[in-house]
Chains A and B, each alone.
Chain A
Amino acid sequence: MKMTPHMSRDEIQQALLDAAHNPLGEGGRHHMVSVAAQAARAIHSVLKEPLMPFSEEPEVAGGKIAP
C-alpha cells in the first residue's frame, strides 16, 4: 500500500479500503468504511508531528533525516 505523510484524509481512507481485504461483503462494507475513516482521522492527526527525530531523542547517525 502506498501511503505518504502528505496525503489528505480522504486519500488515506481510500488507500486503506483499497488495501484491506473486506470479508464482510457489500452488506458489511459500512463497517470497513467506518473503521477506515477513523484510521484516516488518526493518521492525519499524528502526522501533524514530524516523523524526524524529536529534539529530545538522540541524533541519528549521519545527522538529521531530510524531510
Chain B
Amino acid sequence: MKLHDLTVTQTAAGLRKGEFSPVELVEALLARIAETEPDVEAWEVVDADGALRAARWMTERMRERPSRRSLWGIPIGIKDIFDVKGLPTSAGFEPYRGKVAGEDAGMVTQLREAGAIVLGKTVTVQFATALDSPKACNPWDLSRTPGGSSSGSAASVAARQVAVATGTQTGGSILRPAAYCGVVGIKPTFGRISRYKVVPVSWSFDHPGFLLRSVADAALMLEAVAMHDPRDPFSAVQEAEDFVGAAASPLEAPELGLVMDLMDRAEPPVREAMEKAATQLAKAGARIRPIRLPVEMDRLLGAHFLIRVTEAAAVHAVQHAALGEHYEPNLRANIEIGQVLPAWLNVHSARLRRRYRAQMSDMFSGLDGLIAPTASNLPPDRSTGVGDPSFQVIWSFFGMPNITLPTGLSPERLPHGMQIIAPCFGEARMFRVAAWAESVFGPMPSALDAA
C-alpha cells in the first residue's frame, strides 16, 4: 500500500513502528498533491516548506525517543477559515488574501500539541456561507461539486492527498461534502471543539469537525481535540471520552431508527441506496424501525434559516458596508435580507429551538442511534452550487453529533452516504454504531485510482 493510501490510524501505527518517517510521509503526500491537484484544486495554500521543516524535526526526535502523542507526525489539511500561524486565512474573500495569521486557532493548537503537521489550507466557499461552488472539484467526477463549504477538505481527502482535513458545519458543511466525495465526515456535539480564531458564520450553529476515511480516524481525531477552551464562550466543559476505545468496540445488532421524513424527501437514487444500506444492516443483525421527526421538518429548517441569516448579517454588518463589492451576490442578498428581518423572528426561532430540543431528544429513546441518507441527492453539477443542506441542517440546529459513512457508488459511479445521528454528547455510542456499520458496508475504492 502506498503512503497516501493509508488512513490516519494506519499512518500513526506505521510511524510508531518506524516503517517510515514523517519526512518520507510528507514527501509522499506532496508528490500526490503535485500529481492530482491540477484536476482537484483542493488547496488554497500548500505549506511544503513548513510541513517538511516540522517533519524533519519530528524525524530527528523520533530517532532519540519515540513520541507517545496520538497524532505524532500526522499531516493534516486545515480549512481556510481557521487561523494557522504564519499562513494566510483568506476564507475565500479576496481582500483577505495575504492576510497572515499571527496565532493558531484553538483547534489547530490542540492538533499541533497532539503532534499533527499542518500541510496547508484547504479551499472553502466564501466565508463558509456562499452558495457558489469554489474552484475545488469532486474527485469522483470533476464536473460535479464536492459540496460545501468544506469543499477542499472533502476533495483532498477523497483524492488521497491527505488522510484528514478539518471542516466546519453551520448547516451541512461537513457531512454533505463528505457524502458527495465518498469519505467519512464527523460533526461532534456543539461546543466539543474550540472555535477560537475560526471565521464565524453563525455563532449559534458553528461546529468544527473532520473529514477523513474511517470511523477509527474520526474517533482518534476527536479525542485529540475535544476539550474545553475558555477562549471560546460556547466551548463545552464536558471532557472527551474514550472515543478510540469506543470505535474499537463495534456495537453489534444495534437498534436504529430510520428517519422517514428524510427518506420521503430523498431523490430516488439516494432513497434506493439508503434502502439497500438499511437492508444490509438488518441482514447483519441491526433492528431498524421507521421513525418520524416530532416537528414538521420545514419548521426546523425555517427556524435555523432565520437565526443563521440574522447572525450572519450581524457578523458581516460592518465589513459588508465597506467591502460589499467583494462579496458573492448570493451572500450579499443573505446579508441584506438578514439585516431587515424583525428581531422578534429571531427571538421566536430561538424559543422554538429550545422547545423542540426536548422532543427531538425523545426520538432516541430505546435506540442506539438514528440513521438517514446524508444528503438528499447525489453530487450535482458544479454550476448549480454546492448542493442541498436540508438533510444535515436539522441536526446542526440542535447541536447533535452525527457522522456520515460512504455506502457505495451509484450506477454512474457517484458516492452516496448514510448518516448516524446521536443525542448531544453521545459520540461514544455513535462511534460504536458507526464502526459496526462501516464493517458491514466495507471499504470504499479510491476516487482517482479506481477503474
Contacts and interface: CB of A to CB of B under 8 A. Distances in A.
B336 A46 contact: no
Q: Is the interface of B mostly helix, strand, loop or mixed?
A: helix
B298 interface: yes
B341 A39 contact: yes
Interface in B297-327: 298-299, 301-303, 305-306, 309, 324
A45 B296 CA distance: 9
A54 B353 CA distance: 12
A4 B99 CA distance: 44
Contacts of B293: none
Given A16-B337, A42-B303, A48-B299, A34 B352 contact: no
For chain B, which range describes its interface: under 10, 10 to 19, 20 to 34, or 35 or more residues? Answer: 20 to 34
Contacts of B345: 43, 46
Given A1-B340, A20-B337, A24-B332, A38 B305 contact: yes
A1 B342 contact: yes
B295 to A, nearest CB: 9
A1 to B, nearest CB: 6
Contacts of B355: 54, 56
Give the residue among A20, A36, A44, A51 with the most B Cβ atoms within 10 A: A20
B302 A43 contact: yes
A38 to B, nearest CB: 6
Contacts of B299: 45-46, 48-49
A54 B355 CA distance: 8
Given A1-B340, A57-B351, A23 B332 contact: yes
Contact of B336 (A32, A34, A48, A54): A32
B302 A31 contact: no
Interface in B127-151: none
Contacts of A36: 333, 337
A31 B340 contact: no
B349 interface: yes
A56 to B, nearest CB: 7
B341 to A, nearest CB: 7
A20 B340 contact: yes
Contacts of A8: none
A44 B301 CA distance: 12
Nearest to B336: A20
Contact of B302 (A21, A35, A46): A46
A31 B333 contact: yes
A48 to B, nearest CB: 6
Contact of A24 (B302, B305, B329, B349): B329
Nearest to A13: B337
Nearest to A51: B348
A21 to B, nearest CB: 6
B236 to A, nearest CB: 24
Interface string B330-372: 1011101101111011001101100100000000000000000
Given A24-B332, A34-B333, A41-B302, 12 more contacts: A22-B336, A28-B332, A32-B333, A35-B337, A39-B305, A41-B298, A42-B301, A42-B305, A45-B299, A45-B303, A46-B302, A46-B303
Interface of B: 296, 298-299, 301-303, 305-306, 309, 324, 329-330, 332-334, 336-337, 339-342, 344-345, 348-349, 351-352, 355
27 contacts: A1-B342, A20-B339, A20-B340, A22-B336, A23-B332, A24-B332, A28-B333, A31-B330, A32-B336, A32-B337, A34-B330, A35-B333, A38-B305, A39-B305, A39-B341, A41-B302, A42-B306, A43-B302, A44-B302, A45-B296, A45-B298, A45-B302, A46-B345, A46-B349, A49-B299, A54-B355, A57-B351
